[in-house]
Structure 1
Amino acid sequence: MIKSFKFCPNCGHSISEFNFRRMACPNCDLVYYQNVAAAVAVILRKDDKLLFTVRNKEPQKGKLDLAGGFTDPDESAERTCQREIEEELGITIPIENFTYFLSKPNNYEYKGIPYKTCDLAFIADFPDEEIVLEKEEIAAVKWIALKDIKLEEIGFDSLRSVVDNYLKLNLK
């Protein structure tokens, strides 16, 4: 149960049951579904290395991450990749340069509220541009050779699985 949602957002009536997917108000018959949120993660590669960000915020502060974030309403996943790379790293990658790789479900808890996400992973080559970090979200970046990547240092299970799949295809 999501602790934060104790009242119906339509009529204000007390809600006694809300599972991770559905809430029904016994007073006004509103049925609210908590749908999956779309998010992207981008594997940025250069030669035999991948670019990882170091999270500067919870959840998973201090852990490795891939550049990316939540998809805005009316935004394609590829545009989300482009926007998030611009916001987090200060670089521009043409939208057609993002190649879909795979997706993984994720549990993303933020301030006590659990969000179910579908993390859509894309691959792109890193352009020859200087990185300008968005310091509020990103503490640092690390280029790590494929053979030196330690999956246990990646903060989210979904992204750990994405990188593991990438390594299995590229470390032969």
Structure 2
Amino acid sequence: MNSETQKPAFRRQIPAGDTHERDVCSTCGFINYVNPKVVTGAIVRHDGKLLLCRRAIEPRTGFWTLPAGFMELGETAEQAAMREAREEANAEIVIDRLLAVYTIPRIAQVQIMYLARLARPDISAGPESLEVKLAGWDEIPWADLAFPSVRWALEQYRSVEGLSDFPAFANPPGEFGGI
């Protein structure tokens, strides 16, 4: 059997010069690195209200979230956040600044959240949303938020609302694995 017809045979081992166990092909030496996924999104503001999307997809179908999702190859974090707002709420947004970077090792994610504003007030549910709305603070469905990181972003934004200069946030104290 020649190398062109051999099927890769992966085994768990710590590659030379590495510190983590990985899947390594015993045929060719290829190392299969599995790294965290990057999620980007935004708190989108318009006339004192915030854009919320009611999820039409798993996980957490029917719960409310901010427009956010996985980055694609070839795009920046900002471009991904703008794309997600278009996909989920048919919203064109302008990114103003970074709000937070969360690390959630339990699900192997890094989440980058921006502050943004609507470029136009036109919004409607995209294919990943059951409905979208602009909500004031007293209209946010706090008990029906999809993920703890949505609450973190909203609460952290509230703490700096109206300020133009503040450092980016990270996970709230004691919050490292839950989403």
| TM-score, normalising length: structure 2 | 0.70
2:97 aligned with 1:106, yes or no?
A: no
2:14 aligned with 1:13, yes or no?
A: no
Q: How many residues align?
A: 150
Q: Deviations over 1:90-118 (max 9, x none)?
A: 23234xx34211111236xxxxxx85111
Letter in 2 for 1:68: A
Counterpart-to-counterpart distance in 1, 2:31 and 2:142? 40
The partner residue of 1:162 within 130, 153, 156 is 153
Tell me how far 1:128 sits from its aligned partner: 3.1
Contact 1:52 1:64 in 2 (8 A): yes
Counterpart-to-counterpart distance in 2, 1:101 and 1:67? 14
How do residues 82-161 of structure 1 correspond to structure 2 at under 5 angstroms?
82-94=82-94, 97-106=95-104, 115-135=107-127, 137-161=128-152
Stretch of structure 1 that moved more, 48-57 or 30-39: 30-39
> Which residue does 2:3 correspond to in 1?
none
Larger Rg: 2
Q: Deviations over 1:37-84 (max 9, x none)?
A: 111111011233211100001001111111121111121111112222
Letter in 2 for 1:103: V
Tell me how far 1:125 sits from its aligned partner: 1.6
Contact 1:22 1:33 in 2 (8 A): no
Contact 1:104 1:162 in 2 (8 A): no
Tell me how far 1:12 sits from its aligned partner: 4.2
Letter in 2 for 1:51: L
Contact 1:152 1:160 in 2 (8 A): no
Q: CA RMSD in A?
A: 2.8
Consecutive unaligned residues of structure 1, counting only runs of 5 or more, are: 1-9, 108-113
Counterpart-to-counterpart distance in 1, 2:82 and 2:25? 43
Counterpart-to-counterpart distance in 1, 2:77 and 2:139? 29
